[in-house]
């Protein structure tokens, strides 16, 4: 039988704000078409603000026949105005929760001439609108600094983030980093609980890095910083960017069991309010340089329990100073400094960090 979701016969139904998903045209009918909707000869679908996604059938799995929809979401191209083919980003389709995530491309993209949603915003696509007054307000900006496309052999993704509680409320929840591969489900990389998180508190880390492993498949990725609750999973707000890895695609790759367990920066280890450092390390510590070996640059991280006069220099094996990285006062907190070896020869280099009470050194290998 044609039309697993809706079948039209000798009529022209007007579809407005429907979500038609996970339907199947009759699997026992060898030519069943239109798993989502089917207009038989002499019929036609018209309308707007619909989601027709992830339906199945022998042929034309989403729709079949004469279909003229506007401002709608479908995995295959629809004729008409304002249509998109993006993943609608349901909350949890596996449990039949077809509400929209806050990152859904179907939010505020319905027909602008349609009545506004009950929250006063432009009409959404689909049957279930996203209430934009339900979640606390955040400002989240996440951006790519470099490293994309990542080569097939892996490499560092360089990125930054600014995330501020702009809700005017004290919040409890979570903040986390996640990525998605080729429009699939998110994989969470790291997170931090937000406890009594005050208005105006922020994460401000412009220089992060993440080592993308060689065996991750090639293709399109999205990188996100999100706030909300991890259990139950709710996204309040997000910021993100696209990046790419060269290599062979693999839609079935198991990311969860193939994540780096170390060697990346943690953007959430320091929370700020204005200029005040709210996260203060308990002791002096030099985390070290990453990556190491490196080419052409590496990042040296260190913790200060108190404001200190800091000097950091880099020397070659002959004892010649080749770089003066830090020379001045630094507040208590977590600090990072980049050593760029672009103008230097391959070899072993030594960094030396001194404060009023501490001295530390480490080795770095530049490989060109």
The encoded tokens of residue 283 equal: 């002791």
Q: Specify whether 17 is located in the same domain as 87.
A: yes
- Which of 193, 228, 245 corresponds to the end of one domain? 245
Q: Residue 120: inside a domain, yes or no? A: no
User: Which among 283, 277, 267 has a CA at the least distance from the CA of 330?
Assistant: 277
CA distance 286 to 335: 10
C-alpha distance from residue 258 to each of 183, 209, 211, 212, 293 (Å): 19, 18, 12, 10, 22
Backbone angles phi and psi of 313, in degrees to 5 = -125, 160
**Mean of all residue pLDDT scores within the chain:** 89
Q: Specify whether 154 is located in the same domain as 93.
A: no
pLDDT over 70 (residue 98): yes
Of the candidate ranges 9-13, 19-23, 205-209, 282-286, the one whose mean pLDDT is the lowest: 282-286
Q: What is the CATH number of the domain that holds 286?
A: 2.60.40.1930
At residue 317, the pLDDT reads 93
Q: What is the pTM of this model?
A: 0.55
At residue 2, the pLDDT reads 65
Percentage of the chain surpassing pLDDT 90? 54
Residue in this structure with the two tokens 């830090």, named with its chain if needed = 326
Looking at the structure of the chain, the number of domains it has is 3
User: CA-based angle 292:294:298, to the nearest 5?
Assistant: 80
The arithmetic mean of pLDDT across residues 236-243, rounded, is 92
Confidence band of 234 (pLDDT split at 50, 70, 90): confident
Q: Residue 126: inside a domain, yes or no? A: no
- Which of 100, 123, 148 corresponds to the end of one domain? 100
The edge-to-edge listing of strands for the beta sheet with 37-39 is 6-8, 37-39, 63-64
What pLDDT, in 10s, does the model give residues 164-197?
999 888 888 999 999 999 988 899 999 998 888 8
C-alpha distance from residue 71 to each of 49, 51, 89, 277 (Å): 5, 9, 16, 47
Q: Specify whether 208 is located in the same domain as 285.
A: no
Q: Specify whether 284 is located in the same domain as 353.
A: yes
Q: Residue 234: inside a domain, yes or no? A: yes
C-alpha distance from residue 172 to each of 131, 193, 194, 279 (Å): 20, 8, 5, 17
SS (H, E, C) 74-129: ECCCCCCCCCECCCCCEEEHHHCEEEECCCCCCCCCCCCCCCCCCCCCCCCCCCCC
Q: Residue 106: inside a domain, yes or no? A: no
Q: Residue 186: inside a domain, yes or no? A: yes
Q: Residue 316: inside a domain, yes or no? A: yes
Q: Residue 362: inside a domain, yes or no? A: yes
Q: Specify whether 226 is located in the same domain as 146.
A: yes
CA distance 286 to 352: 10
C-alpha distance from residue 264 to each of 128, 256, 289, 298, 338 (Å): 39, 16, 11, 12, 14
Q: Specify whether 155 is located in the same domain as 217.
A: yes
pLDDT over 60 (residue 274): no
Q: What is the CATH number of the domain that holds 144?
A: 2.60.40.3880
Of the candidate ranges 56-60, 160-164, 198-202, 289-293, the one whose mean pLDDT is the lowest: 56-60
At residue 275, the pLDDT reads 39
Q: Specify whether 284 is located in the same domain as 241.
A: no
Q: Specify whether 73 is located in the same domain as 161.
A: no
What pLDDT, in 10s, does the model give residues 252-265?
999 999 999 888 99
The arithmetic mean of pLDDT across residues 10-38, rounded, is 84
CB environment 169-199: b (16+ within 10 A), e (fewer): eebebbbbbbbbbeeeebbbbbebebeebee
Q: Residue 80: inside a domain, yes or no? A: yes
CA distance 225 to 190: 10
Pairing of strands 297-304, 333-340: antiparallel
Q: Specify whether 163 is located in the same domain as 215.
A: yes
Domain hosting 288: range is: 280-366
Q: Specify whether 290 is located in the same domain as 241.
A: no
What pLDDT, in 10s, does the model give residues 328-343?
888 777 777 888 888 8
Q: Specify whether 289 is located in the same domain as 341.
A: yes
Q: Specify whether 290 is located in the same domain as 220.
A: no
């Amino acid at each position: 039988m044609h039309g697993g979701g809706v079948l039209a016969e000798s009529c022209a139904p007007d579809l407005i704000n429907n979500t038609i998903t996970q339907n199947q045209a009759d699997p026992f009918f060898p030519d069943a078409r239109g798993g989502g909707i089917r207009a038989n000869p002499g019929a036609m679908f018209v309308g707007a603000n619909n989601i027709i996604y992830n339906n199945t059938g022998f042929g034309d799995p989403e729709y079949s026949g004469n279909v003229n929809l506007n401002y709608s979401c479908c995995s295959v191209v629809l004729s008409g105005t304002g249509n998109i083919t993006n993943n609608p980003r349901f909350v949890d389709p596996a449990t039949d929760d077809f509400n929209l995530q806050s990152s859904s491309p179907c939010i505020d993209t319905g027909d602008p001439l349609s009545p506004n949603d009950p929250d006063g915003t432009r009409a959404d696509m689909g049957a279930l609108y996203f209430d934009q007054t339900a979640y606390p307000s955040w400002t989240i900006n996440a951006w790519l600094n470099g490293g994309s496309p990542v080569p097939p052999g892996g490499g560092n993704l360089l990125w930054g983030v600014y995330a501020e509680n702009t809700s005017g409320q004290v919040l409890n929840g979570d903040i986390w980093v996640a990525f998605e591969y080729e429009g699939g489900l998110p994989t969470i990389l790291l997170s931090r609980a937000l406890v009594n998180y005050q208005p105006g508190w922020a994460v401000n880390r412009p220089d992060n890095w993440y080592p993308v492993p060689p065996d991750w498949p090639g293709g399109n990725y999205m990188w996100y910083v999100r706030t909300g609750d991890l259990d139950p999973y709710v996204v309040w707000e997000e910021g993100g960017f696209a990046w790419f890895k060269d290599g062979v695609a693999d839609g079935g790759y198991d990311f969860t069991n193939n994540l780096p367990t170390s060697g990346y920066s943690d953007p959430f280890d320091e929370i700020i309010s204005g200029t005040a450092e709210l996260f203060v390390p308990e002791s002096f510590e030099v985390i070290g340089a990453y990556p190491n070996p490196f080419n052409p640059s590496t990042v040296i991280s260190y913790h200060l329990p108190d404001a200190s006069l800091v000097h950091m220099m880099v020397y070659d094996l002959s004892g010649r100073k080749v770089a003066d990285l830090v020379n001045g006062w630094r507040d208590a907190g977590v600090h990072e400094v980049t050593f760029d070896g672009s103008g230097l020869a391959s070899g072993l280099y030594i960094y030396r960090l001194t404060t009023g009470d501490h001295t530390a050194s480490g080795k770095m290998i530049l490989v060109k």
